[in-house]
Chains A and B, each alone.
Chain A
Amino acid sequence: MSETNGWFAAGDRDDPDATTTAIREGSADEPRDWPALAVEAGFASDTEEYYDTLREATTAATRAAVTERERADDRQLVHAIRAMDDCNRTANELAERLAEWAGTVDPDAGTGVEYARAIARGEADDDLAEPAIGSLAERVADLADEADELREFVERQTPAVAPNLSALAEPVLAARLIALAGGLEDLAKKPSGTVQVLGAEDALFAHLRGHAPSPKHGIIYTHDAVRGTHPENRGSAARAVAGKLSIAARVDHYSGELKPELEAELADRIETIQARTTDEDAGTDGGADDE
């Protein structure tokens, strides 16, 4: 199709596949009076018919494009990790409520999801025979189980979607980064400085407005190399980790090949940072001179 043709140039009205493809993949240098041209070309007998056909074609093409984009594997991960967080949050919240309630009938009431699981299994005090409490406990236990299953799903799927990223970070962190960025492609396109503070948006915007120091790390704080580094040097470690994770995300998105050397390079760099004696290096953290 040449660049001056409309979407209808590809075929006739009775070939939905051709028109769908034309709408999704076609392009033109400039718009023209398509309704009139289509009638002239015999594609439609009048403008009304043209618009009817256009509506069918755009709706079909857009529906197909939406489905395809939403089914992409990284989209599935984004939903799974968010669902996992929701389940965990809700389970904890209900477990707290349950502990409050159980505390009124059982002086030895425990706390948390584990206690809820114990009640659900029927291992708690006989006074807790109140069916409403037992039923709530079962709900909490179920939610916690669901969260565990979602975590397994994430741990299974992430290495397939982003092999390098999940090799450098553990799969759950990798999936979180993808979710925060909005998808693997979005993550791949972000500068590493942005990856470094993903998940610390509140602190970042407070900083940009001018009344807070810049955040050293966002969600990558949960990475062992960041958490395991002395606070003095954590900024350096976060920068190094974010840099390698960005590269990993780009390799995963654009080529998909496994690059084991990334892991070795990161380990090497972290070792150097952690070997610093903190006294000597105090004050240089965050500066450009330590890279």
Chain B
Amino acid sequence: MSKQLPAGVERHAFDGTDRLATRGEPVYGEPTDGEWRAWNPHRSKLGAMLEVGMDTGLEGGETVLYLGAASGTTVSHVADFAGPTYAVEFAARPVRDLLETADSRERLFPLLKDARKPATYAHVVESDVDVIVQDVATRGQARVALENRQFLADDGRLLLAVKARSEDVTREPAAVFEDVREELSERYEVLEARQLEAYHADHLGIVAQP
């Protein structure tokens, strides 16, 4: 796992173990070391993708569109090292927590919107973002990625966590992943795909570019 970490993400020792960390206000009771706070890969798919050493292409300071922000666990870390970060989440309850996370982060823009309907936030989210991070637990995850392609710069990256169980609980995860990759190939080139098994059961991490 020697891939370059983005600027603003470092390994720090917490209780004797080296863990990923970013600088910012703690939000979910994670351990801290000075101003650094641990990034738990078990609670964050992007964290797991970095932890297993996927080449995310993240450098730090990017403009990010985050789909499926939930209560802001991962997005808070993203906002710590990235630039302007648009956080889209559809469920009202977790957004309550997301708003709290956004309080201490100057460039985090929370939006209560449906990631399956990009037109409802295209008047707010700018074009040509550098990175789309997607972690939505709904059926049609590839479709969501395709429809949000319009926000991504031509040299941007899509960092996608596919949850097999959201597509179809009864099918083999491998078959689901195959279908998702096939559908993605309509408008994306998949650079790397890796199972996140060590941290998240039945999840596939994908790095793709337009």
A residues engaging B (CB < 8 A)?
A: 1, 5-7, 22-23, 26-35, 51-52, 54-55, 58-59, 61-63, 65-66, 69-70, 205, 208-210
Closest to A70 in B: B92
Question: Besides the contacts A31-B127, A55-B107, A55-B108, what 19 more A-B pairs have beta carbons closer than 8 Å?
Answer: A7-B123, A7-B124, A23-B111, A23-B123, A27-B122, A29-B122, A31-B125, A33-B126, A34-B123, A34-B124, A51-B107, A58-B111, A58-B124, A62-B95, A62-B110, A62-B111, A63-B99, A65-B112, A205-B169
| Docked-complex contact A58 and B123, CB < 8 angstroms | no
Chain A residues within 8 Å of B122, by CB: 27-31
* Minimum CB–CB distance for B150 against chain A, Å: 6
| Docked-complex contact B127 and A30, CB < 8 angstroms | yes
The answer to whether B128 has its CB under 8 Å from any CB of chain A is yes
The answer to whether B96 has its CB under 8 Å from any CB of chain A is yes
**Could you count the A-B residue pairs with CB atoms below 8 Å apart for me: how many are there?**
87
| Docked-complex contact A209 and B119, CB < 8 angstroms | no
Closest to B102 in A: A59
| Docked-complex contact B120 and A62, CB < 8 angstroms | no
How long is the Cα–Cα vector from A5 to B122 in the complex, in angstroms? 10
| Docked-complex contact A23 and B124, CB < 8 angstroms | yes
Chain A residues within 8 Å of B119, by CB: 27-29
Once A29-B119, A66-B99 are accepted as A-B contacts, the answer to whether A59 and B126 lie under 8 Å apart by CB is no
The answer to whether B151 has its CB under 8 Å from any CB of chain A is yes
Chain A residues within 8 Å of B150, by CB: 30-31
How long is the Cα–Cα vector from A209 to B93 in the complex, in angstroms? 31
How long is the Cα–Cα vector from A65 to B99 in the complex, in angstroms? 12
Closest to B150 in A: A30
| Docked-complex contact B92 and A66, CB < 8 angstroms | yes
Chain A residues within 8 Å of B112, by CB: 61-62, 65-66, 69
| Docked-complex contact B109 and A58, CB < 8 angstroms | yes
The answer to whether B57 has its CB under 8 Å from any CB of chain A is no
Chain B residues within 8 Å of A6, by CB: 123-124
The answer to whether B6 has its CB under 8 Å from any CB of chain A is no
How long is the Cα–Cα vector from A35 to B99 in the complex, in angstroms? 22
Chain B residues within 8 Å of A66, by CB: 92, 95-96, 99, 112
